[in-house]
Amino acid sequence: MLETGLIIRALARNKIGALLIALQIALTMTIMVNAIFMIQDRQQQMQRDSGLDEANTFYLTNTIFGQDYNIQAQLQTDLHMIRNTPGVVDAIQINAIPLSSSGWSMALQHEPGEDKDAVGTAVYMVDEHAINSMGLELIAGTNFTQEDIELRKDGQSTWPAKTIITKAFAENLYPDDWQSAIGKTVYISQTQPMQIIGIIKALQAPWNGWNGVERSMLVPFHRESKGSYYFIRTEEGQRDALMPAIEKALAESDKERIIRRVTTVEDTRKRSYRQHNATNKILTTVVITLTLITGFGIVGLAIFSINRRTKQIGTRRALGATKGQIMRYFMMENFIISTIGNVIGCIGAVALNMWLVNTFNLSPISFELVAFGVVALFIVGQLAVLYPARKAALIAPATATRTI
Amino acid sequence: MLVMKNINKIFQTADIQTHALRDFCLQVNEGDFVSVTGPSGSGKTTFLNIAGLLETYTNGEFLLDGEDVGKLNDNGRSRMRNQKIGFIFQSFNLIPDLNLYDNVDVPLRYRGFNAKERKRRIEENLERVGLASRMKHLPSQLSGGQQQRVAIARALATDPRFLLADEPTGNLDSEMAKGVMSLLEEINQQGTTIIMVTHDAELAQRAKRTIQVKDGRVSELEIVASNTDKAIA
């Protein structure tokens, strides 16, 4: 028969130790649930699809220092050479790299003019090879044609007449029907019209922490600039071998420029989320440490309590308690303390989350996560008390008759 | 009936072997009131522990109510303690965090009685020892004699066949000791078999039988009130 009532009344008369452990459980629960939530949030961010064929793409910077340099001619030569290199799928010149933390942004609006609502977007200046070079998926509309590609000089403020946008951006511009974006005219730089000719499934912006990271647009530009990126996609398994080969070929083909920062998109992703990874490791360490401290606290309190009650346990055995009943007594005692701790912890976890939501604009924690925290701490509590409870069960009934 | 034949109890450490009981023989019949005396270290507490199934013995034969105790496992001994034996300890061994009602409740819960039956037994036995009006008190709020009465109520609550008392008056002044002794005599008269270990010769004399333990054996037997009861020497 369970001794729940007796245990609760006994605990009520000896509340300090139990209360301290309950508060420790509550604190652990509060921090654990919110830390796991933050870890999950970061994990989800890190697992978002960039839209790129990351495993088979890399890029490099092309910095020209020569005077009277024919940028356009060299660009065509370079792209022709790279695209015709065995193992290369396609290549483009591009102004910014997704997830690299550095890029261009503009805003598009439905109507021309100042004071009109506009939606921010990352801008990638590319040619008709972009979809193939980046491994993007065109899900509606059409790609650029060679005729669409315009030359853009540094400082130029006019924009091409066509654009391809991401699905997320289309959903933002046309929430009722994202596919209706095809053929629509939007305005860039407040007044310049652009027609949306295509929608790609995904392409992340260069800034992973931006809440509009999924909003990107492709514009058909070749840049006449002394600094640009070449973005290259290779056949599967060819990337690592082609990286130094293409770097060398480019460098040797023209001595009036520097080819450097040959980097895989995978490395860029890793760098981009380095802080997320570090934070997650710290939070994981905090969660594990707190849980261990709580577990050890429970072990300590239980052992102290058992040592203090050795004679009492012997007396219970003398009165007919089996070893199992003694074990159950301490497991139940811990369960009651854990219940109190978990109830306070649930309130604390939700309260802390509400503060985080209001302060840092995080989303609310899920019921499942709170339930997970409760179950996890019950398991930790029961596992922690298992050894002391077993120790208590092994106290001989003859202890009851000992005078010391 | 309690029958011990040639019970030996040897405590073994790495280097030392201690014979606590040597070929210990005793028969206690139903309704007996046996006092056990003897000098310190004579083995009387070991005897009481074995008689109360608190401790196992090394060899010999021990029958309690016709059941061979040697064949019982730990759970079986626990069950038999709960069902057939009541304990009264020198230092009362009440649970300090529980009030009198809950203290008496402890063995009843191990027995598995329902709440109604437990309540009846608790109230009846606290009434029997004159403490029904204090059932919500904590042990620390009672005198030593009153605490021992609660311990007696707890021991009696399960209707045990045997009541084993370990120096039940050892921590009481003489007036309280007499009161507790009178209560034990009354309980015995109502049919409960009592085995009491005591140092107090005067109290020992009030039992129906007195046995003396020396060097782990029953060294002397005095039959006070019954000619039919005897020890197997």
Q: How many domains does chain A have?
A: 2
Q: Output the DSSP codes for A70-134.
A: -HHHHHHHHHHHHHTSTTEEEEEEES--TTSS--EEEEEESS-STT--EEEEEEEEE-TTHHHHH
Could you give the CA distance from residue B212 to residue A288 in angstroms, rounded to a whole number?
Answer: 62
pLDDT tops 50 at residue A77: yes
Do A304 and A367 lie in one domain? The reply is yes
Residue A349 is assigned to a structural domain of this protein: yes
Q: Which residue has the tokens 């608190």?
A: B54
Give the number of residues written for chain B: 233
Q: How many CA atoms lie within 13 A of B76 on its CB side?
A: 9
Residue A389 is assigned to a structural domain of this protein: yes
Contacts of B147 in chain A (CB under 8 A): none
Say which amino acid occupies B74: D
Do A244 and A126 lie in one domain? The reply is yes
Contact A229, A96 (CB under 8 A): yes
Is the CB of A14 less than 8 angstroms away from the CB of B79?
no
Is the CB of A397 less than 8 angstroms away from the CB of B138?
no
Residue A181 is assigned to a structural domain of this protein: yes
- Closest C-alpha among A403, A243, A395, A252 to residue A329: A395
Which residues constitute the domain of residue A280? 2-47+274-401
Contact status of B198 with chain A (Cβ, < 8 Å): no
> Residue B78 is nearest to which of A13, A315, A322, comparing CB atoms?
A322
Could you give the CA distance from residue A62 to residue A251 in angstroms, rounded to a whole number?
Answer: 9
Would you place residue B90 in the very low, low, confident or very high pLDDT band (cuts 50, 70, 90)? confident
Q: What is the pTM of this model?
A: 0.78
Distance from CA of B112 to the nearest CA of A (A): 6
Do A26 and A77 lie in one domain? The reply is no
Do A237 and A175 lie in one domain? The reply is yes
Helix (H) or strand (E) holding A59: strand A57-64
Do A245 and A319 lie in one domain? The reply is no
Is the CB of A398 less than 8 angstroms away from the CB of B54?
yes
Do A146 and A191 lie in one domain? The reply is yes
Q: Which of A227, A255, A283 is the last residue of a domain?
A: A255
Q: Which residue has the tokens 């949030």?
A: A41
Residue A59 is assigned to a structural domain of this protein: no
In eight-state DSSP terms, residue A337 is: H
Distance from CA of B86 to the nearest CA of A (A): 7
Do A169 and A224 lie in one domain? The reply is yes
Do A226 and A305 lie in one domain? The reply is no
Distance from CA of A404 to the nearest CA of B (A): 10
Is the CB of B97 less than 8 angstroms away from the CB of A14?
yes
Contact status of B67 with chain A (Cβ, < 8 Å): no
Could you give the CA distance from residue B40 to residue A10 in angstroms, rounded to a whole number?
Answer: 36
Residue A261 is assigned to a structural domain of this protein: no
Contact status of A215 with chain B (Cβ, < 8 Å): no
Do A43 and A147 lie in one domain? The reply is no
Interfacial A residues in 289-348 facing B (CB < 8 Å): 311-312, 315-325
Do A117 and A230 lie in one domain? The reply is yes
Ranking A43-57, B112-126, B209-223 by mean pLDDT, the lowest is B209-223
Q: Output the DSSP codes for B124-144.
A: HHHHHTT-GGGTTS-GGGS-H
pLDDT per residue over A279-331, tens digit each? 999 999 999 999 999 999 999 989 998 999 999 999 999 999 999 999 999 99
The alpha carbon of residue A209 and the mean position of all alpha carbons in its chain are separated, in whole angstroms, by 10
pLDDT per residue over A236-252, tens digit each? 999 999 999 999 999 99
Find the Cα–Cα–Cα–Cα dihedral A308, A314, A316, A318, rounded to 10°: -160
Contacts of A403 in chain B (CB under 8 A): 90-91
Do A21 and A93 lie in one domain? The reply is no
Is the CB of A401 less than 8 angstroms away from the CB of B49?
yes
Q: What is the three-state SS of A245-277?
A: HHHHHHHHHCCCEEEEEEEEHHHHHHHHCHHHH
Contact status of A254 with chain B (Cβ, < 8 Å): no
